[in-house]
Copies of this chain bind each other. A is one copy, B any other.
Amino acid sequence: MGLRVGVVGGGQLARMMIAPAVELGIDLRVLAEEEGMAARLAATSVGDYRDAATVLAFARDVDVVTFDHEHVPQSVLHALVDAGVAVHPGPDALQYAQDKLAMRARLEELGMPQPDWAAAASAAELQEFLDAHGGRAVVKTPRGGYDGKGVRVVSAATEADDWFAALAEDARGGALLVEELVDFGRELAQQVARRPNGDVVAWPVVETVQRDGVCAEVLAPAPGAGERLTAVAARLGAEIASGLGVTGALAVELFETRDERLLVNELAMRPHNSGHWTQDGAVTSQFEQHLRAVLDLPLGDPSPRAPWSVMVNILGGPVDGTLEERLPAALAAHPDAKVHTYGKAPRPGRKVGHVTVSGGDLDDVAYDARAAASFFLG
């Protein structure tokens, strides 16, 4: 019998698990939202991940269920667990990726460094937080946000009126999350993977560059990160993974403040854009590691293969034609660029691929990666 991993969700994260699955002899099966998705080669079922019967039927033929995204409802996750299915990460961990208020509260219990925050159930409570934090703050919808969606910087409580109105209509009710506006120097991301047996490994902390709330590029390792920062970030990642009971890959998005503190911004309990560089730049990629972790196999060496790797997202893609049509020019100009496409139609702002370059000189590597990615735009 082989090792069978079922992935709920057919996006690019599931797609990028295919390569390591084939090489390690893992039978990867994907429950895709529709036909023709990024992970179509491994899609064995098409159906609605919010429907317990659909997901249970899919899970019958695999050894473990894992995820391309964090949107599978708790009721479905618990139905899987109740049916005896191994689910990694499990519902108890995923709740913290699904509800940012729960995440903030749990990180506080764990003593993790994070921005000042509060649950604001009303405009009055939001205004109170604003008044106490210099009149500006970040407001987030606790559920359903990603890539900058559900995040808003406000300087008056009225600017969140529509979200409060939506909350009032939501049967689950609740509050908005409000956070201090951190004066950060840059954003970092710490990736770790954790097995069910508790073992954790950490990749070196990376710098992430965001544009319009979306990850544009990643520099690995984070330039200027000394031993202390690297160790502190790795420990943070491991403590959060253990504290939240995460199994599989975990990305901890961090603010590095101008006074050199690290504060937890967001969490992702799956392979994450900040770790795409590991496909080409590390001994063990985040996709291989995630598969190993959810199967409770020993974790691989996360060491970088080169002093520097830079990953640049292809956002939107060509305004006409396909990414594949741009390959000849890009590959001709940049023989060292590793181009990854997601099999998705170009659309403004959509993540349709990425390029990674590794080497000994950060400036050269970053230049090459950006230049290669630019061939797929415009």
Q: Which of B18, B25, B332 contacts A22 (CB 8 A)?
A: B18
Cβ contact within 8 Å between B335 and A25? no
Q: Please indicate the chain B residues that have their CB under 8 angstroms from the CB of A23 in the complex.
A: 16, 19, 279, 338-341
Q: Which residues of B contact A3 (CB under 8 A)?
A: 324, 327
By beta carbon, the residue of chain B nearest A306 is B305
Is A178 among interface residues, defined by CB-CB distance under 8 A?
no
Q: Which residue of B lies closest to A343 (CB)?
A: B25
Tell yes or no: A299 within 8 A of B by CB. Answer: yes
> Which listed residue (B22, B297, B322) contacts A1, Cβ 8 A?
B322
Q: At the interface, yes or no: A81 with Cβ under 8 Å from chain B?
A: no
Instruction: Tell me what chain A mostly uses at the interface: helix, strand, loop, or mixed.
Output: mixed
Is A231 interfacial (CB-CB < 8 Å)? no
Binding site for B on A (CB under 8 A): 1-3, 15-16, 18-20, 22-25, 41-42, 279, 283-284, 292, 297-301, 303, 305-306, 322-324, 327-328, 331-332, 335-336, 338-343, 353, 358
Query: Can you list 30 A-B pairs with a CB-CB distance of less than 8 A?
Result: A1-B322, A2-B343, A3-B327, A15-B22, A16-B23, A18-B19, A18-B22, A19-B19, A19-B20, A22-B41, A23-B279, A23-B339, A24-B341, A25-B324, A25-B341, A25-B342, A25-B343, A41-B42, A283-B338, A297-B327, A297-B328, A298-B331, A298-B332, A298-B335, A299-B335, A300-B331, A301-B335, A301-B336, A303-B336, A305-B306
Give 18 new A-B contacts, CB below 8 A, not counting A25-B342, A305-B306: A1-B324, A2-B324, A3-B327, A16-B22, A16-B23, A18-B19, A18-B41, A19-B19, A23-B341, A25-B324, A25-B327, A25-B353, A283-B338, A297-B331, A299-B331, A299-B335, A300-B335, A305-B305
